[in-house]
Structure 1
Amino acid sequence: MKKIRIIDVANHASVSKSTVSQYLNGRYGHMSLSTKQKIQDAIKELNYVPNAIARSLKSEKTKTVGVVVRDIAGYNTSHVIRGIDDYCKQNNYNVLIYNSDFDANVEQRALLALQQMCVDGIIITSSGLNSNLINEFMANGMPVIQFQLEYEDCPGHIVVSDYKEAAFQATEHLINLGHQRICFVAQEFSQSYSRQARYQGYLGALNKYGIQVETQSVLHWSREEGFAKNPLTLIADDKGPTAFFSQHLAITTDLLKLFNAENVVIPEDVSLLGFDEIPMVELFKVPVSVIKQDAYQIGYESGKLALEAIQAQHTQLQRIVVPCTLISRASCKNLS
């Protein structure tokens, strides 16, 4: 089968080769409707497929954005990716996705692979352990957009949820229901601005209502080791929490598994409010109250910011904050 070239399209449409090239590169603002239609018809009739590699060599653009996420199967992450992909597709950009599995070494390899593929920009939710490499990329002109997690040693364009305000609203909601002893359950948050913001929102609500922070007010959790202290031990204490405020879907899931295994009844024995929506929560016997992030919008804004950065539209670093929504359900008992 003969390979169709730009010159064939030009001859078929009775226009110049440069006119077809301008059309293919989206530079047709001053092109007449009839000329555009002739080119469209010629492309369709000849079944012409542009050579993306050749075009990228000429333009120094691959029209591709690389995305690095920690868990592509995650409920929120999948919605973020959809938002990124939708925006990029609308603007004729392709998306390459890498999954790091929460492994900093895998994340590093993904970043280097995307660099070797000459992507035009990178969107990443970072582990915080490859800041030097990300800073190097940005210093060398690679547009990098971070989302979800923000780190002091890696300033750049970023899209985040309004974590502080959301945590404040959630804690205030529990306080208004009569809860004075609210356990903040979270991963270690000393190095991440985003995790610190949630804690500051929690403290802000407690301070507003004159509630003291107790030694049992914070419970740490990790993916590898689980809870630093058994939540059941905390509940059994006379001064233990009447409510848990979980900061991640995985933490909420672990709490639910533990409570179910030990016949802890929600909300009669303890109330639960989680950060992040739970898949198919409407099927739960006791649907869980949550702070819902707008994951799709985070992705959409990340894709938009990436293309803007690629086009050098910003002279200053951009920080986009997406609001969250408190969804009150049956898992939080009214003690008032």
Structure 2
Amino acid sequence: MKKVTMDDVARHSNVSKSTVSQYLNKRYDYMGVDTKRRIESAINELGYRPNFVARSLKQKRTSTIGVIIANILHSFSTKIVRAIEDVCNENDFHVIICNADDDPAKERKYINMLRSKQVDGIIVFPTGGNMELYQSMVSEKFPLIFVDRMLDELTVDTVLLDNQEAAYIAVEHFLNLGHTRIGVITSSLIHKITPRVERIEGYKKALSENGVPIKDEYIKGLKVEDMKQGLREMFTSDEPPTAILACNDLSLIEVLNYVKENGLSIPDELALIGIDDDPFANIFSPPLTTVSQPVFEMGKKAAELLLEKIKNAEREGIVQIYRFPPSLIVRRST
């Protein structure tokens, strides 16, 4: 079967090939309604499919971006990706999503794959383990945006939460309720991932400013598989915490599992706050107090920044860090 070409569409709709090209690129400013209708009808009747490879070679763009997320199991990641995809869809960009599992080797493989596919830009939740690769993209002025995590050694536009403030307002809420034995648990701190480190800093700052001693045994930064043991150590100490801050959704789930397995009552025996307003927080019994981050706004900002960089690739600009404010949603777990 002969492949339908743009010339075929032009002849069938009685317009020039350049007019068809303008239609396909949505440049309708000087195109009449009848012309658009004829071209659309010809495309449908002939079954024409644009050759995106040929178009990308001509335009030197693929209208495709890559998104490399740290861990697809985090609800935060899926919401961010949804917001990015919404913006890209509105701008006729395609999105390739990759899950790095916080593994620098896996992240490196995906960066190289995306670059080989000639994506126009990349949004990445950086592991921090590929500094030379990040730096090479910066040096090339390749459109690059970081989300959720900063790397001090690099000047890259970054979108993230005000993480210190997120933990600070949670601990302050505990203190206002009379709690002084406050624990905190997050994912592993070994690689100094920005939100984890900053939330611990915010926790410590709130305690210090209120004259409450900081106890190392109340602070846990662990792999998910080690959190159960870490919680056991925390709650079997001489003075177990009466309140706990779970710094992300995975640690919150581990706390809830521990509470259930050990028959603890929320909030009578343990007050609980989670950072990230997970979908189940409002329907859990009792409903969970959470610190919410404006995830969709953050994802939208990341996508808009990247598309602006792609459209103005040669323009030099000041690198900026965009921090979004958290908000405390008080329910019945505190």
TM-score normalised per structure 2: 0.89
Tell me what 2:96 maps to: 96
Q: Which moved more, 1:243-252 or 1:113-122?
A: 243-252
1:21 aligned partner: 21
Pick which of 160-169 and 120-129 moved more.
Answer: 160-169
Amino acid at match of 1:62: T
Q: Which residue of 2 aligns with 1:69?
A: 69
2-structure distance, mates of 1:2, 1:100: 42
Match in the other structure for 1:80: 80
The question of whether the paired residues in 1 share the 8 Å contact of 2:64 and 2:93 is answered with yes
Q: CA deviation at 1:206?
A: 2.5
Change (3 A) 1:74 1:185: closer
How many percent identity over aligned positions? 33
Give the C-alpha shift of residue 65 in structure 1. 0.6
**Residues in 2 aligned to 1:83 and 1:174: alpha-carbon distance in whole angstroms:** 32
**Does the 8 Å CA contact 2:159/2:321 hold for their aligned counterparts?**
yes
Distance in 2 (CA, whole Å) between partners of 1:195 and 1:154 is 19
Mean alpha-carbon deviation: is it higher for 322-331 or for 60-69?
Answer: 322-331
What is the rounded CA distance, in whole Å, between the counterparts of 1:221 and 1:85 in structure 2?
32
Q: Tell me the distance in 2 between the aligned counterparts of 1:26 and 1:316.
A: 32
Amino acid at match of 1:318: Q
> Following TM superposition, by how much is the alpha carbon of 1:115 offset from its aligned partner in structure 2, in angstroms?
0.8
Deviation digits for residues 168-199 of structure 1, max 9, x if unmatched? 21111111111122222233177334333323
Secondary structure (helix, strand or coil) at the match of 1:7 reads helix
Letter matched to residue 172 of structure 2 = E
Residue 285 of structure 2: SS of its match in structure 1? coil
Q: Count the aligned residue pairs.
A: 331
The residue that corresponds to 2:318 in the other structure is 316
Q: Which runs of 5+ in 2 are unaligned?
A: none
1:327 matched to 2:320? The reply is no
Equivalent pair of 2:4/2:46 in contact (CA under 8 Å): yes
Aligned-partner Cα distance in 1 for 2:198–2:73: 26
SS in 2 for 1:268: coil
User: Per-residue deviation at 1:211?
Assistant: 2.5
SS at 1:225's partner residue? helix
One-letter amino acid of the structure 2 residue matched with residue 185 of structure 1: I
In 1, Cα distance between the equivalents of 2:64 and 2:9?
25
Q: Secondary structure at the match of 1:123?
A: strand
Cα RMSD, aligned residues only: 2.4
Report if aligned partners of 1:66, 1:121 keep a CA contact under 8 Å in 2. Answer: yes
Q: Which amino acid aligns with 2:213?
A: Q
Kindly state the Cα deviation for residue 288 of structure 1 after the two structures are TM-superposed. Answer: 2.2
User: 1:276-316 deviations in whole A, cap 9, x for unaligned?
Assistant: 23342344332322112233332222222211111126622
Superposed counterparts of 1:186-265, under 5 Å:
186=186, 187-188=188-189, 191-223=192-224, 225-226=226-227, 230-265=230-265
1:152-163 matches, within 5 Å, as: 152-163=152-163
Range with bigger deviation, 139-148 or 108-117: 139-148
Residues 32-71 of structure 1 mapped to structure 2, 5 A cutoff: 32-71=32-71
CA separation in 1, counterparts of 2:200 and 2:82?
A: 29
184-193 or 68-77, which deviates more: 184-193
Displacement of 1:29 after TM fit?
3.1
SS of alignment partner, residue 133 of structure 2: helix
Taking the aligned partners of 1:317 and 1:34, their CA distance within structure 2 comes to 46
Cα distance in 2 for partners of 1:218, 1:18 equals: 65
2:166 aligned residue: 166
CA gap of 1:326–1:51, structure 2 versus 1, over 3 A, is: same
SS of the residue 1:281 aligns to: coil
- State the one-letter code of the partner of 2:127: S
Aligned to 2:109: 109
